[in-house]
């Protein structure tokens, strides 16, 4: 397990990263990538959508281009403070919650879509968290998760494994199917200088 696959260490990490996150993030997780991921979903304006690990609200902003309201959750109070400055602390259009992805503070069968980008790499138990996503999804609801693709070279693999979760499409397939999702598929994406840096997985909750 990587050093940041620990909730306390991840919170501390983002306490400092939140100060510069919006300046760094566009070089790694671009608007083009966000739009490409959004196109993978069947979104309608009135859908109930949850953004898990919303951070400073970059993905939330993209989701609001497609839907009327978004529920957004993050464990880092420092990341959320940045998001509040953009959207306000209390919705609509964004309903913020501080909480844990493994224990979502929402009722079963609440959402049409659960989105999470740049969060799975910090989860101590990804399958448990994905099961929690399935719990809050309505039957037939969609899940989309963007995470870091496993590097090709041995040295970078060792570094990646020491820091956080990196995984390939075979491991993603296993995790999502073990969590109970159907119609699981994957798409690699990234900025022009590293087009396969991220792996986006989508699936559906059983009907």
Q: Give the domain extent around 72.
A: 7-204
**How far apart (Å, rounded) are the C-alpha atoms in residues 135 and 73?**
16
Q: Does residue 114 form part of some domain?
A: yes
Which two structure tokens, joined as six digits, stand for 99? 């909480």
Residue 150 maps to which CATH number?
3.40.50.150
Under the banding of pLDDT at 50, 70 and 90, the label for residue 122 is confident
Q: Does residue 2 form part of some domain?
A: no
Alpha helices in the chain (DSSP H): 7-17, 21-24, 31-38, 58-63, 77-87, 126-136, 154-163, 169-178
Which two structure tokens, joined as six digits, stand for 61? 């902003």
Section 92-118 average pLDDT: 96
pLDDT score recorded for residue 47: 98
Q: Is the pLDDT confidence value at 130 over 70?
A: yes
Q: Does residue 180 form part of some domain?
A: yes
Q: Is the pLDDT confidence value at 59 over 70?
A: yes
Q: Does residue 179 form part of some domain?
A: yes
Under the banding of pLDDT at 50, 70 and 90, the label for residue 8 is low
Q: Does residue 182 form part of some domain?
A: yes
Section 82-88 average pLDDT: 93
Higher-scoring residue by pLDDT: 161, 202 = 202
- Which are the contacts of 134, defined by CB distance < 8 A and separation ≥ 6? 143, 179, 180, 181, 205
Q: Does residue 1 form part of some domain?
A: no
Under the banding of pLDDT at 50, 70 and 90, the label for residue 159 is very low
pLDDT score recorded for residue 157: 44
Least confident of 48-57, 85-94, 140-149, 192-201: 192-201
> Average model confidence (pLDDT) for the chain?
85
Q: Is the pLDDT confidence value at 10 over 50?
A: no
What is the percent of the chain where pLDDT is above 90?
64
Q: Does residue 168 form part of some domain?
A: yes
Section 94-122 average pLDDT: 95
Instruction: Give the position of tokens 């899940």.
Output: 143
Q: Is the bond leading into 92 cis (omega within 30 degrees of zero)?
A: yes
Q: How many domains does the structure of the chain reveal?
A: 1
């Amino acid at each position: 397990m990587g050093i940041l696959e620990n909730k306390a260490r991840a919170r501390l990490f983002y306490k400092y990263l939140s100060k510069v996150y919006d300046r760094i993030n566009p070089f790694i997780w671009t608007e083009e990538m966000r739009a490409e991921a959004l196109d993978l979903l069947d979104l309608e304006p009135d859908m109930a959508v949850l953004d898990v690990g919303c951070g400073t609200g970059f993905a939330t902003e993209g989701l609001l281009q497609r839907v009327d309201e978004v529920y957004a959750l993050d464990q880092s109070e420092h990341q959320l403070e940045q998001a509040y400055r953009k959207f306000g602390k209390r919705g609509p259009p964004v309903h913020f919650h501080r909480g844990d992805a493994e224990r979502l503070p929402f009722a079963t069968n609440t959402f049409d879509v659960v989105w999470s980008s740049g969060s799975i790499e910090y989860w101590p138990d990804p399958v448990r968290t994905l099961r929690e996503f399935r719990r809050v999804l309505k039957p037939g609801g969609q899940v989309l998760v963007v995470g870091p693709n496993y590097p090709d070279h041995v040295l970078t693999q060792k570094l990646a494994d020491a820091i956080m979760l990196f995984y390939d499409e075979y491991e993603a397939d296993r995790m999502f199917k073990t969590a109970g999702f159907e119609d699981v598929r994957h798409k690699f994406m990234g900025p022009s200088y590293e087009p396969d840096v991220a792996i986006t997985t989508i699936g559906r909750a059983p009907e």
